[in-house]
Amino acid sequence: MCLAVPGRVMEISERDGTRMAVVDFGGVVKDVCLEYLPDLEVGEYAIVHVGFALQRLDEESARKTLDLFAELGLLQEEFGDPWEAAAGTGATEERQ
């Protein structure tokens, strides 16, 4: 499954002419492209899908969504170790 997940912008930089950010998804940190939201600032939240920030989101909504995703195990499913998942160990084994 591939989710659109809310995350908080931690830092912004330009890489090879592309506006990029380091985004925190409830403890998981990833690089994200900001080209669709050029005015997004550090500290703001955005919904991110496949590495692209798509829509600004208020903090309360972002936190509620992250809490719900964590409760349902969707953050682990989305951001878990792909090698672990491919090997059928760890979190994947717990569900069987």
Q: Give residue limits of the domains in the chain.
A: 5-95
In degrees, rounded to 5, the angle at the alpha carbon of residue 86 between the alpha carbons of residues 65 and 46 is 25
Q: State the pLDDT at residue 85.
A: 47
pLDDT in tens, 16-58: 999 999 999 878 899 999 999 999 999 999 999 989 999 999 9
Angle at 78 between CA 35 and CA 33, to 5 degrees: 10
> Which residues contact residue 48 at a Cβ distance below 8 angstroms, ignoring those fewer than 6 apart?
4, 5, 6, 7, 23, 25, 30, 32, 54
pLDDT tens digits, 57-92: 999 998 898 888 778 777 665 665 544 544 555 443
Q: pTM to 2 decimals?
A: 0.72
- Spatial separation of the C-alpha atoms in residues 53 and 34, rounded to whole Å: 6
Using the Cα atoms of residue 42, residue 46, residue 52 and residue 54 in order, give the sign of their dihedral: negative
Compute how many other C-beta atoms are within 10 angstroms of the C-beta atom of residue 88: 9
Which CATH fold would you assign to the domain 5-95?
A: SH3 type barrels. (2.30.30)
Single-letter amino acid code for the residue at 86: A
